Structure formats: C-alpha cells, structure tokens
C-alpha cells in the first residue's frame, strides 16, 4: 500500500511550448532571403561556420546594441533557417540559447563563395550535433574569450582592435600535423603595437603533463616555420595555474632553445566574476624558468615581455588564408541599427 503519495500539483508538467514555424529551404525561400538578409546577418552566418556555436549572450556582445535587439533578430534568422538553436540542460537555472549554422545559412555562404553546398563540407546533423558534444563547454569558453575582445573593438575600448581570430578547426588544417592550438588571435593597440598568439584553453579535465607535452610540439612548429608565436594558456583556477606553471617551466627548460616558445598563463577566477572572461586586462603572467615571476601584464603589453619577437604588421595576419572559406573579419560590420 502506498503511504507517501506524490501531491497532485507535482505531477503537472510545464505547458508544452508551441513550436516556432520555420520556412522550408526551397529555392523560392533562398531567393526571398536575398531581400532581407543584412551584411551583419551574413557575417554572423560566416562566423558560425568558422566557430561552430555561440550563445545568445555572445552574439549580442559581438554585433548588437542590446540583448533584446539580438534576440528579436535571432528569432527571425531561426525562422528563416539561417540559424538553428538548442538549449543545453543545466542542473540549476536556465542555460542561454545556443546557435549554430542551419542549412539556408550554409547554402548562402556556399553561393557567395561560388561553391556547392557539398564542397563546403557542411552537414546540418554535424552542426547541431555539438549540442551533445563533450566539447561544447570548451568551444563556448574559447569563443567567449574572443567575443570579449571583439566587443572591445566594436565599442572602442582602449583603442584596441582584434584583427585576427582563427578557430581550432582552421588551426588544425594549417598546423595539425605538428600541434593543434585551440585558436589563433592577433590584437593591436596603438600604444603597444600588435601581438599574435596561440591559445590553449584548459578546462581542468586533462593531466597537466598532457598540457606540458605540447610545449615541445610548439617548439617544433616554430623551428619548422621560422616564426616564433607566443602561447597563451587559460586555466580555470589560480590553484591549477600554479601547478601548470611548474610543469610548463620544466618543459621549457628541457628545450634546446626555450625562446622558441614564449608562454604566459592566467586563470579564469583571477579578476572576479564581472571581468573574469576579458583577456585584454592585466592578468597575463609570462613564464621565464630562470627568473622569478614579475607583475601580471595586459594583453597588449605581452609583446614587450619578449623583445626577441619579430615586430608584426599592424593588421594583416602573417599566416596564409585557408583553401576553403576565408576567415571572417573578427568584428561585425557597422550597422545603423
């Protein structure tokens, strides 16, 4: 006999949401889209092809004046099948909506570049499949760091400018036979010049020895290409950063030429919740095995920490573009609204 029954009110589920009507990706629909898609819409589609997934908050920071304006446009792009969306499960609260490229968006990108959709290598099931990927948090974390730099550029903070942002997939196509960075970026400020870097975004899920082993591969890449590129390592906590710096220092000391791999580290909990995701701030600590650590530096100041680096041109990335779609500009085009 049941003696501890469940109250009836707890058996009532939430009212199901009405499905949002969406267009079919016919040739007529694609023709109609030409009238309505703005340069910013097309830029966002290209960014999602490059970087896989953005949250609604990241998209608002990238290209819209307010979250409300961004959400209204994102809903329309979802209805037109330019974008698709999902909402991950979290144990407390509500996750933001996540957006990926949909079939209509991929088709217009292929047509803009004179390609067939199959030549683009796009598959909708693969794009939306990131909703179930164990790499979702890793990818949105990386994109969040560069989103902060892109938003700084758009809003004119400190005169800084994000001039290059390559995804992990693009880096893998160029350097994957030697090393696989999580991203490549370039930042320019008039007062300090330009700095480029490879990003290693650590979520704390792998052994520190695995992270340290990448130092030798970055050294081989520098020796092969003749280009010394700093490696910036983002760690989840100050405690893990301290442990990582010990093993990284050992890995650098074991190199024949430690100057081939300039390394700086930071942690996500360093500056408090309001500024924890801004890479431009004074949070980076260069790693010099033979010297005690100095003060933490702003991103723009890192080039001065490694005077042996060759000076960079102001804007253009030194590495060649990919053979498929060009990397999109990292900052949204200006819009009147």
* Phi and psi torsions of 73, nearest 5°: -70, -40
Average pLDDT, the chain: 89
In CATH, 29-133 is 1.10.10.10: yes
Q: Which of these ranges, 11-20, 152-161, 187-196, 249-258, has the smallest mean pLDDT?
A: 11-20
Angle ∠(306,309,313) on CA atoms, nearest 5: 125
* Helix orientation angle between 56-63 and 67-79, rounded to the nearest 10 degrees: 110
Residue 193, by phi and psi: left (phi above 0), alpha (psi -120 to 50) or beta?
A: left
How far apart CA 73 and CA 76 sit, in angstroms, is: 5
Indicate whether this model's pTM tops 0.75: yes
Question: Which tokens go with 165?
Answer: 């942002």
Q: Which of these ranges, 3-7, 40-44, 92-96, 199-203, has the smallest mean pLDDT?
A: 3-7
Per-position DSSP letters for 255-294, written without gaps between them = SS-GGGS-EEEEETTSS-TTTTT-TTSS-BEE--TTS---
How far apart CA 47 and CA 149 sit, in angstroms, is: 15
How far apart CA 253 and CA 248 sit, in angstroms, is: 9
* Phi and psi torsions of 101, nearest 5°: -75, 135
Q: Which helix (H) or strand (E) holds 73?
A: helix 67-79
Q: Which of these ranges, 245-249, 259-263, 274-278, has the smallest mean pLDDT?
A: 274-278
CA diameter of the chain: 80
Encode pLDDT of 140-153 as tens digits: 999 999 999 999 99
**Which band of pLDDT confidence, cut at 50, 70 and 90, is reported for residue 322?**
very low
pLDDT at 273: 67
Mean pLDDT to the nearest integer, 264-268: 95
Helices (H) and strands (E) in the chain, counts: 12, 9
- 306 has pLDDT over 60: yes
Mapped onto helix, strand or coil, the DSSP state of residue 138 is helix
Which position has the higher pLDDT, 13 or 330?
330
Mapped onto helix, strand or coil, the DSSP state of residue 232 is strand
Q: Where are the beta strands (DSSP E) in the chain?
A: 54-55, 83-86, 98-101, 161-166, 183-189, 193-201, 231-235, 263-267, 285-286
**Which band of pLDDT confidence, cut at 50, 70 and 90, is reported for residue 277?**
confident
Cβ atoms of 85 and 78 within 8 Å: the answer is: yes
β-strand pairing of 98-101 with 161-166: unpaired
How far apart CA 244 and CA 258 sit, in angstroms, is: 17
Mean pLDDT to the nearest integer, 276-297: 86
Number of neighbouring beta carbons within 10 Å of residue 293: 11
- 59 has pLDDT over 80: yes
- 316 has pLDDT over 70: no
Q: Which of these ranges, 89-103, 131-145, 270-284, has the smallest mean pLDDT?
A: 270-284
> For residue 184, how far is the Cα from the chain centroid?
9
Which position has the higher pLDDT, 92 or 265?
265
Encode pLDDT of 171-218 as tens digits: 999 998 999 999 999 999 988 889 999 999 999 999 999 999 999 999
Mean pLDDT to the nearest integer, 242-261: 95
Q: Which of these ranges, 98-107, 111-120, 306-315, has the smallest mean pLDDT?
A: 306-315
Q: Which of these ranges, 104-113, 154-163, 205-214, 272-281, has the smallest mean pLDDT?
A: 272-281
How far apart CA 16 and CA 318 sit, in angstroms, is: 52
Which position has the higher pLDDT, 112 or 320?
112
How far apart CA 199 and CA 205 sit, in angstroms, is: 17
**Which band of pLDDT confidence, cut at 50, 70 and 90, is reported for residue 314?**
low
Mean pLDDT to the nearest integer, 151-156: 90
How far apart CA 183 and CA 247 sit, in angstroms, is: 22
pLDDT at 315: 53
* Phi and psi torsions of 207, nearest 5°: -65, 145
**Which band of pLDDT confidence, cut at 50, 70 and 90, is reported for residue 233?**
very high
How far apart CA 34 and CA 245 sit, in angstroms, is: 52
Residue 93, by phi and psi: left (phi above 0), alpha (psi -120 to 50) or beta?
A: left
pLDDT at 6: 45
Mean pLDDT to the nearest integer, 55-82: 97
**Which band of pLDDT confidence, cut at 50, 70 and 90, is reported for residue 91?**
confident
pLDDT at 298: 95
């Amino acid at each position: 006999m049941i003696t501890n029954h469940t109250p009836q009110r707890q058996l009532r589920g939430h009212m199901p949401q009405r499905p949002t009507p969406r267009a079919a990706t016919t040739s007529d629909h694609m023709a109609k889209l030409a009238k309505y898609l703005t340069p910013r819409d097309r830029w966002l589609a290209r960014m999602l092809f490059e970087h896989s997934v953005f949250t609604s908050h990241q998209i608002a920071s990238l290209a819209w004046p307010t979250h409300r304006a961004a959400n209204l446009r994102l809903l329309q792009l979802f209805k037109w099948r330019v974008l698709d969306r999902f909402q991950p499960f979290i144990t407390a609260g509500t996750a933001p909506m996540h957006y990926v490229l949909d079939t209509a968006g991929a088709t217009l990108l292929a047509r803009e570049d004179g390609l067939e959709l199959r030549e683009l290598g796009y598959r909708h099931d693969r794009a939306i499949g990131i909703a179930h990927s164990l790499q979702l948090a890793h990818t949105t974390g990386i994109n969040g760091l560069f989103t902060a730099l892109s938003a700084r550029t758009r809003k004119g903070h400190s005169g800084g400018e994000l001039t290059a942002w390559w995804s992990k997939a693009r880096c893998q196509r160029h350097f994957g036979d030697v090393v696989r960075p999580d991203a490549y970026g370039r930042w320019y400020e008039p007062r300090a010049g330009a700095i480029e870097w490879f990003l290693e975004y650590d979520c704390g899920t792998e052994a520190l020895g695995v992270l340290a082993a990448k130092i030798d591969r970055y050294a081989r890449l520098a020796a092969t290409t003749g280009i010394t590129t700093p490696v910036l390592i983002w760690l989840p906590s100050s405690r893990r950063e301290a442990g990582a710096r010990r093993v990284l220092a050992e890995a650098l000391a074991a190199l024949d030429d430690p100057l081939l791999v300039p390394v700086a580290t930071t942690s996500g909990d360093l500056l408090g919740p309001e500024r924890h995701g801004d890479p431009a701030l004074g949070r980076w600590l260069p790693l010099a095995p033979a010297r005690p650590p100095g003060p933490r530096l702003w991103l723009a100041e890192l080039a001065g920490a490694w005077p042996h680096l060759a000076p960079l041109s102001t804007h253009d990335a030194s590495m060649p573009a990919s053979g498929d779609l060009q990397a999109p500009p990292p900052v949204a085009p200006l819009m009147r609204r």
